Amino acid sequence: MVEPGITLVDAAELKELMKKKFMAAGLPEAPAEETAKHLTYADACGIHSHGTVRVAYYAERIAKGGVNLAPNITFEKTGAASGIVHGDNGIGQYVCNKGLDYAIDLAKESGVAAVGVEKTGHSGMLSYYVKRAAENGLVAIAMCQSDPMVVPYGGSENYFGTNPIAFAAPTDLEKPVVFDMATTVQAWGKILDARSKGRAIPDTWAVDQNGDPTTDPNEVAGLLPIAGPKGYGLMMMVDVIAGSLLGLPFGKHVSSMYEDLTQKRNLGQFYILLDPARFTDPAAFKHRVGEMVAELHAIKPASGFKSVRLPGEGSQIRYQKAMEDGIEVATEIYDYLRSDTVHLDMYDGKGAFA
């Protein structure tokens, strides 16, 4: 049963609609195709904060010059197993997917790859990248910077971004193990969803402008790190590796998503890829990971749970269902995608919590 205000859309149609919108904004076909493919994946996974809801924003930034439409993406090999992808501020999904190609090739050549992507735009869901690496037989870790939206543990002013981390490993089963998480208690998209539905949020998610916990999604001025100082430490780690290590702005100096859509973002992303064949028998490795999955699934679930799932497994289940039955899209967004309107001119100059 589809909720009111939601339209079920075939994945191929949805990707094509988004691709056309990006091209109408000025993006060439290849990056438009890749970006639309990525956003379709996000919505199919049920992570709507990284799917079609971003199209109007991307289209506006593209149209206003905040994306390099013809980036010179190059790979600089800096060591036997290291390198830097110079993204030249192209659209994030396209640049980071190209960067992953270089990282995969290097991992297969050297056994290990530590590859940074410098000067890119918002890159979407990290699970998209590590999943592709796992499908190429590699163990993968990815991390990236984001807007300063999070108060440090014990603080009342924003400094770091949600700075996500993702992990994937191949198995001898149908699907790889894929895990993707922000280093905050909850993603901003969940708070936006609560705001749109007039619902309160738990007081553990965010703080107001005074740094005090809030249950009102309209009063949110900063997000909270997961597990207090532990999440704070993880987001700092990501910022150092995906930012400072690549010579990019760090912490509160990372560019805002909305402040000035005419300016390039200069964000960083980092991949660490491992070839199991350099450490063990790759078939045996995949089997061991597959056994782990089976053993976790066999654990008796706790009260209130139907089964034990792996971290990230819910997204994969939703993805499979959506690709078969259709992807849920807000009807308002679907109408915009089918319209002749390129963008809504509504994001430029806004704050992070607009």
Q: DSSP secondary structure string, 97-152?
A: HHHHHHHHHHHHHHSEEEEEEEEE-----THHHHHHHHHTT-EEEEEE---S-BPP
**Among this protein's residues, is 122 annotated catalytic?**
yes
SS3 236: helix
**94 contact partners, CB below 8 Å, separation of at least 6:** 30, 31, 34, 35
Cβ(270)–Cβ(126) below 8 Å: no
SS3 call for 64: coil
Segment (H or E) for 283: helix 282-298
Options 38, 48, 86, 122, the catalytic residue: 122
CA neighbor of 90 nearest in space, from 123, 57, 124: 123
Which among 310, 320, 309 has a CA at the least distance from the CA of 45?
320
Nearest to 114 by CA among 241, 280, 243: 241
Q: Whole-angstrom Cα distance, residue 65 to residue 86?
A: 19
In this structure, the chain runs to a length of: 354
How far apart are alpha carbons 125 and 93 in whole angstroms? 9
Only one residue has tokens 């738990």, namely 202
Token output for 267: 């964000």
- Please name the helix (run of DSSP H) or strand (run of DSSP E) that holds residue 25, with its range, or none: helix 11-25
Q: Which residues pair with 167 in a beta bridge?
A: 141, 179
Residues that are catalytic: 122
